[in-house]
Structure 1
């Protein structure tokens, strides 16, 4: 089968950054499914792994952690899926990704794809949906109840990105929170409003912009951007005994002591942690099934931003470049290899 791999490079156009390779098709065993890929989405984690965030790549590595496709074969321990069914998933960071014609994936991380969406729309949802859900309900410990948290406020930093867009929607649909999102460009601010944000403020003047809404603090912060950039802002804006969750690492040093006097809780959300450490991986399949229901009921919508084209080196390179430029609204999706 064909796949696109990387040998690691900070410059996506460098030799070996992305290249077409040929591999044998493997048969699934245990909990695995073999899926023929119909569409994939590209995430910041793709560019980070390519650039060496998880260490140097000694061998060619297949990236890609958002996919929808048809099951072609199943392992002997699979009980909930059958050949021919369409599924969607994010997979795991320590196995070959979905930038390929076919992929082996643990069935416990998989759910049936939403039946009302086009494949490109479905491909845009797994990684961001899982990250948003776990961040809101596992890390911030919010109740899944539209009547809960009605007197509380959530600040979503980088609301127009893939995760931020999904956080806004889930918070609006599944809690009673007032949602304030940050965005700096008119088109990204409008996108946040379309996702359901009650208010949108500019993150370049975050403290003064929030205070201008009449609020001095917020109850919860979901930070989808570099925590070092916003650490002091978050320490200022979070209320006493509030909670902060973050998904993006930083090269800067941050002062954790700044949260002590308010007894603020800070936690990381890393969607790959469950599979990486074997901690109840089946929960991700359950969450994806719940997200599919929300999508099919029209309570949330796909965050598909742009379909780049079929999966090939040129289109994948373009997607990496757009993500690294930092001005993408919604998710970038590519269709199956030709």
Structure 2
């Protein structure tokens, strides 16, 4: 049986006609721990356009590459080793970057990185959450290992607070810890968004050092870099407190001077949401547990979906629009395509 998918054969600018193409392909069959999910909504993240830019830069692929790593849908079939879900269950997940993505009508996905969809959310609202939530949650609780009691009164600086990851990181830090939450934003609308999500302070990243001093936090215990580690490196190492911790999801195109961390005994961690699925780590199932916990928090109203833009219809035009918005660097919250 065939299904519709949207992919690309070449890494082209989003303005090019063939930057995305619709095509028919075989509907996959679940094996082992896999679920076959009928997709109802997907969201687009910066990783999507970065993969699109680089996956077929100097070649033309024989078959289109399907990307996309945020989805919500309904289980249609299960593999012979599954135990967590059954046919008819509604689920949400971020997926595995080493396999075909969710820009298709159906997808097979390992149940160990899938969560139960929040009952109170629409598929569109749910699809906005997995990748960014897992990234933010792992940054706080798996990398820094924030403890609500022992870290009481400490501070966290979230770089790019209004972005997809920052938007949920603000909520997690405010609702699940006793940290003072400081977010960066430069526009009036993005600053207000951060405040509405619970940030204690919002500072302009163009004047970061002086504005931190103004609010009485010239140094911070923890820094979450969700935008540009290389660009912020010297400033981050200057404003982080001794024995502090920096977590980055962005990496660097050139070597960083780690000596800047030495005298302060500062820790640096990278956070890559795909690590557990890419390497089938022993604790891979933790993402299933995190997503289920987040679903409970969303249903309880403790957290709220970061969905801001919904595009109706699984079409090439809508996928291009979503990528165009992500590439602009000015999106607030999350953009979702509803099938």
Which bracket does the TM-score occupy, shorter chain normalised?
A: over 0.9
- How many aligned residue pairs are there? 334
Q: 1:109 aligns with which of 106, 113, 136?
A: 113
- Give the match's secondary structure for 2:245: strand
Q: In the alignment, is the contact (CA less than 8 A) between 1:10 and 1:52 conserved in 2? A: no
CA distance in 2, matches of 1:131, 1:33: 22
Alignment-derived partner of residue 208 in structure 2: 206
- Give the match's secondary structure for 1:117: coil
The range that moved more, 214-223 or 325-334, is: 214-223
**2:186 corresponds to 1:184:** yes
Q: 2:175 aligns with which of 160, 166, 173?
A: 173
Q: 1:314 aligns with which of 308, 314, 317?
A: 317
Q: TM-score, normalising length from structure 2?
A: 0.95
Alignment-derived partner of residue 142 in structure 2: 138
- Give the match's secondary structure for 2:249: strand
- Distance 1:92-1:55 versus aligned 2 partners, 3 A rule: farther
- Distance 1:153-1:92 versus aligned 2 partners, 3 A rule: same
- Distance 1:56-1:63 versus aligned 2 partners, 3 A rule: farther
Alignment-derived partner of residue 334 in structure 1: 337
- Give the superposition deviation at 1:249: 2.7
1:236-257 deviations in Å (ceiling 9; x for gaps): 1000110000111333443221
- Give the match's secondary structure for 1:254: coil
Alignment-derived partner of residue 25 in structure 1: 27
Alignment-derived partner of residue 97 in structure 1: 101
- Distance 1:221-1:52 versus aligned 2 partners, 3 A rule: same
**2:77 corresponds to 1:82:** no
Alignment-derived partner of residue 53 in structure 2: 51
- Distance 1:54-1:170 versus aligned 2 partners, 3 A rule: farther
Q: In the alignment, is the contact (CA less than 8 A) between 1:9 and 1:16 conserved in 2? A: no
- Distance 1:239-1:53 versus aligned 2 partners, 3 A rule: farther
The range that moved more, 244-253 or 48-57, is: 48-57
- Give the superposition deviation at 1:54: 9.3
- Give the superposition deviation at 1:235: 0.8
Q: 1:128 aligns with which of 129, 132, 135?
A: 132
- Give the match's secondary structure for 2:218: coil
1:208-232 deviations in Å (ceiling 9; x for gaps): 1111112221000001011111111
Alignment-derived partner of residue 194 in structure 1: 196
- Give the match's secondary structure for 2:135: helix
**Structure 1 residues not aligned, in runs of 5+:** none
Q: 2:151 aligns with which of 149, 152, 156?
A: 149
CA distance in 2, matches of 1:185, 1:239: 27
Q: CA RMSD in A?
A: 1.4
- Give the match's secondary structure for 1:241: strand
- Give the superposition deviation at 1:329: 0.2
Q: TM-score, normalising length from structure 1?
A: 0.96
1:56-84 deviations in Å (ceiling 9; x for gaps): 67452101100000111000001111111
CA distance in 2, matches of 1:148, 1:55: 48
1:70-109 deviations in Å (ceiling 9; x for gaps): 1110000011111111000001001111101000100111
- Distance 1:273-1:55 versus aligned 2 partners, 3 A rule: farther
